[in-house]
Structure 1
């Protein structure tokens, strides 16, 4: 088996998307020969969480610890440099194919009950390629006897065009941003974006040298309840990711890596991650704002969806 797992190639018109089974990850998405996301190779171990499906939580659980119904749980610290549990439990699972077609694929994996997360979840995701772009839907079903805490989101790195990220124009119509500690990115408080230097992109403007790895909320939505983030290259090409009301939060990351420009992937794309819940939502009781944490009832399901399309 290739390092990325089994690849599923979807085609529709001039568009081609490749989904890898490990982590149900978006490995590549091209339209008219242009990359819309930062790709990686079939026999390449996925770089970090690039394109991965995140569940049963996106982002971080601070210190890897949380409490549900009076019982404390401790997760593996998968972000050891910051001492957090990062991006859930399915990112490195090998998903099985449930449906395979020319323009869509449905993959599934099971989170088995374990000491750190004692609930069994069946996670299914469908990628569908069409004239309106590439849509991913994630549906989780709780196969346990107790309600399970849950959150989800994707992790694509968008590519606007051939110019460096610093020259791209970002439109992020969010009114508030989550302030975090500079060293560990642990949540502090939600603030208005106009009170945080460099983070107000409600009117489209050039990214420049700004470094972002923050969650935004109160995103402006259209009449159908959809929110969208757009990034545009100086050449005029661009890409948009939009999502429905299932995701009240969105994480944005300028892909700043510890090794700087010498490290492959540094500022190569803009990660835009719609999320059903905020960072550290499993510790919802700590915060005075709505984290969006959900609980799936026994036998119940939860679903979220987002779409990437060229501009």
Structure 2
């Protein structure tokens, strides 16, 4: 990999980078360090967006320093009360961290790899200085993204991360795709604001939540986090989607991500929205929704406390099936 030459943002979505290797092509947008598109032998594996388009919501973004929501934007990490900006106004929460709309720097790139970096500066609601970098790498097994964070603050910083791709199994409709989701437990949430309530067996509503045995998604609507993931001998969990045509896509991650958010991409403006149920959001997360308020819950949220100058690294892979 060579140092990237200085570049000028030439598209609405930021500096464009295209990677090609092993039959895969990945387009990365520097705004949000976002995965703009991913194909294998010309077939979409994620719902794409155009380079000259404002990224739709958080599609493909890198979420940091927290994924998902901080309820009411309020947290009490370190003993004090912190009020974050409410970036999900309809529900009144702080959504998906502080780097989703930042233009990350492209640090280095070659045909198969790109590294981007950004800094979370100390600010109201998050008074810690955290340096973040992410690397996308194409290999025979697909596209692997790793995220690394280092806390440059004098006190421990709350940290969490995850991606936000919408996976595409093939040409059929989402309702026809077969989902395998190896999770025993679902996070129950309030229906209006999706605020965490508690954890339950996926059997609490098996038609909606239990996909431990692969089956057709159908018309179910899901926007929930899952945990107690069933893993292979190497500790990896894999979510798989298969189209009736026989094509498919999978996402795999290690034990560093104990949670995964699944969303059937139901849009309130449906059916007018082309994004409505266009793909399945699969979001491995290092922590649960509202993990910054870890003390408020009687289950393990997975919140990471990064000590001064401590680093944390995690990754996941999207592959064609």
User: Does TM, normalized by the shorter one, top 0.5?
Assistant: yes
Q: CA deviation at 1:116?
A: 1.1
Partner of 2:126: 117
Partner of 2:94: 85
Q: CA deviation at 1:155?
A: 0.1
Partner of 2:3: none
Q: What is the TM-score normalised by the length of structure 1?
A: 0.99
Partner of 2:257: 247
Q: Does 1:264 align with 2:274?
A: yes
Q: Deviations over 1:115-162 (max 9, x none)?
A: 210001111000000111000000001011111000000000000000
Residue in structure 2 matching 1:183, options 192, 195, 206: 192
Q: Does 1:26 align with 2:41?
A: no
Q: What is the TM-score normalised by the length of structure 2?
A: 0.96
Give the secondary-structure state (helix, strand or coil) at the position aligned to 2:114: strand
Q: Does 1:38 align with 2:47?
A: yes
Q: CA deviation at 1:195?
A: 1.6
Give the secondary-structure state (helix, strand or coil) at the position aligned to 1:92: coil
Q: CA deviation at 1:197?
A: 3.8
Partner of 1:305: 315
Q: Deviations over 1:191-226 (max 9, x none)?
A: 000122421000000000000000000111111110
Q: Distance in 2 between matches of 1:240 and 1:68?
A: 35
Partner of 1:98: 107
Q: CA deviation at 1:13?
A: 2.9
Gaps of 5+ in 1: none
- What do you get for the CA RMSD once the two structures are aligned? 0.6
Q: Distance in 1 between matches of 2:302 and 2:273?
A: 35
Gaps of 5+ in 2: 1-9
Could you tell me whether the CA contact under 8 Å between 2:22 and 2:138 is conserved in 1? no
Partner of 2:143: 134
Q: CA deviation at 1:303?
A: 1.1
Q: How many residues align?
A: 311
